[in-house]
Structure formats: C-alpha cells, structure tokens
Amino acid sequence: MHVKTAEYTHSAAKPSQFVKRPVPHFVFAGRSNVGKSSLLNALLNRKSLAHTSKTPGKTRLVNYFLVNDRLFFVDLPGYGFAKVSKKEQEQWGKLVDAYLRETPYIATVFLLMDIRHDPSAHDKQMLEWLLHYQIPFNLILTKADKLSKSQVIRQRAQFARIFGLAPEIIFATSSANKFGVQDVWSQITHHYHRMRELMFDSKETSC
Ligand code: GTP
Ligand code: MG
C-alpha cells in the first residue's frame, strides 16, 4: 500500500469519543515502552507523527491516525507500567478494554512484545483476551535490531512455542532499521481487503 496521506485526527479519553465511522482500524497494543508509537511512525515513514519517548507511559489516550483517508492506525496506551498509579493504570485498562469491545471495524490488532524478553503476565492476558473475543491479531516482536539474526530466529520460534501460535502470524521488526516493516505492511493490505469484503459487498477495495 502506498501511503499518500497520514494525519493525526484526534485522541479519545472516553468511549463517547471513539471513532464509529465504518473504516478498518489497525490497532497497536502492548506493554508501555515496547515500541507501539515507533512502529506506527516507521510504517508511515514519519519521524514523529505519533509521539515516542524513553519515558514509558507516554501514550495515555486512544490516538487515531487516518491513512489515505481509508483506514485508521490506532495507538493505544501501554499496559503494565509500574510507575503509573494503580488508579491511572486501571483507567487506561478500562479505556483499552472499551475500545476493543466497542469498535466494530478492527481489521487486526498488532500485539507488540519486546523480542528480548519473555512475555509478561499482562501480555499473556492480552492475548487470551483477543482469542476470547475472536479479534484477529498478529504478534509483533519489536527491537529486533538489538539481537543477532540467529537470536531473532530463535526468539520467534520461542514465542510461537510459548503461545502455541503458528510462526506465520509472528513478525520480528525493528523501527530503528526498518527490518520487517514491509512484512507488517503485507499484513495490513491483507487484513484491509478482508475487512472491506466483510463490511460491504464493494468493488471499491483498492487503496
Ligand atoms: P508508550 O506510549 O509509553 O506505551 O510506549 P510505546 O510502546 O509507544 O513505545 P515508543 O514507541 O515510545 O518507544 C519506546 C522507546 O523504545 C523509545 O526510546 C524508542 O526509541 C525505543 N524503540 C522503539 N522501537 C525500537 C526499535 O525497533 N529498536 C530500538 N533499538 N529502539 C526502539
Ligand atoms: Mg506510545
């Protein structure tokens, strides 16, 4: 897919602000600091459309980015950041939960995990949640530039084993050197067309 336009549209702090427009959503979810906003920028070839930070907990709202006027990239607040108060964590948890339950046009959720670390209890919970609600997802292993090629292969197999997933839906990526970013685009194109077919019996599926 060729990105012609990409713009930040707005942020939602509560469910009444969620986008209900019938447009496929591609969702970036995962622990705080895992690289959600960075991957979104890398995919769109933009340096700082989504704000990134060394300080975890930067993304506190549900942030919407409209791409080619045809699909949304949605940057979710990260979970599991200990330094944020329990109350605030609960608020974000509720917001994310509401977003996933109330958004009818989720094409796929990119669930991000750091390739270097074993999944946390939160990661496992999130994946079980997606399986339970039958929301399509891809597992994205971030920061692959931090490992050697052979370690990347090993870790991908390890994540597949831990979650009992087919390795085909797991992608190793790096926003720093763009490794794997094209594979994520292939998934976006695939899910975009699948979603459009579900949404309308439409001929207008090119993007
Ligand atoms: P929250 O908004 O707090 O939930 O974090 P986030 O998941 O959006 O993470 P963000 O994209 O802000 O990245 C966090 C830190 O990791 C930043 O310092 C990034 O520069 C760094 N980072 C993200 N992706 C990569 C990557 O692929 N490789 C390397 N080396 N660093 C990365
Ligand atoms: Mg972020």
Q: What CATH number is attached to the domain comprising 87?
A: 3.40.50.300
The whole-angstrom separation of Cα 98 and Cα 82 is 22
The reply to whether 1 falls in a domain is no
DSSP-H helix ranges across 15-120: 36-44, 86-102
The whole-angstrom separation of Cα 129 and Cα 174 is 26
Mutate to test the pocket of ligand 1, among 116, 155, 175, 183 (most ligand atoms within 8 A of CB): 175
The reply to whether 77 falls in a domain is yes
For 131-176, write each residue's pLDDT tens digit.
988 999 999 999 999 999 999 999 999 999 999 999 888 999 999 9
Q: How far is CA 78 from CA 14, 66, 190, in A?
A: 16, 20, 26
Range of the structural domain that residue 57 is part of: 6-199
- Contact 63 CB / ligand 1 (< 6 Å): no
pLDDT band at 204 (very low <50, low <70, confident <90, very high): low
DSSP-H helix ranges across 84-171: 86-102, 121-132, 149-163
The reply to whether 35 falls in a domain is yes
The reply to whether 158 falls in a domain is yes
The reply to whether 16 falls in a domain is yes
The reply to whether 152 falls in a domain is yes
Tally of domains in the chain: 1
Q: What is the mean pLDDT of residues 100-125?
A: 94
pLDDT of residue 68: 96
For 49-97, write each residue's pLDDT tens digit.
988 877 766 678 899 999 999 999 999 988 877 667 788 778 888 898 8
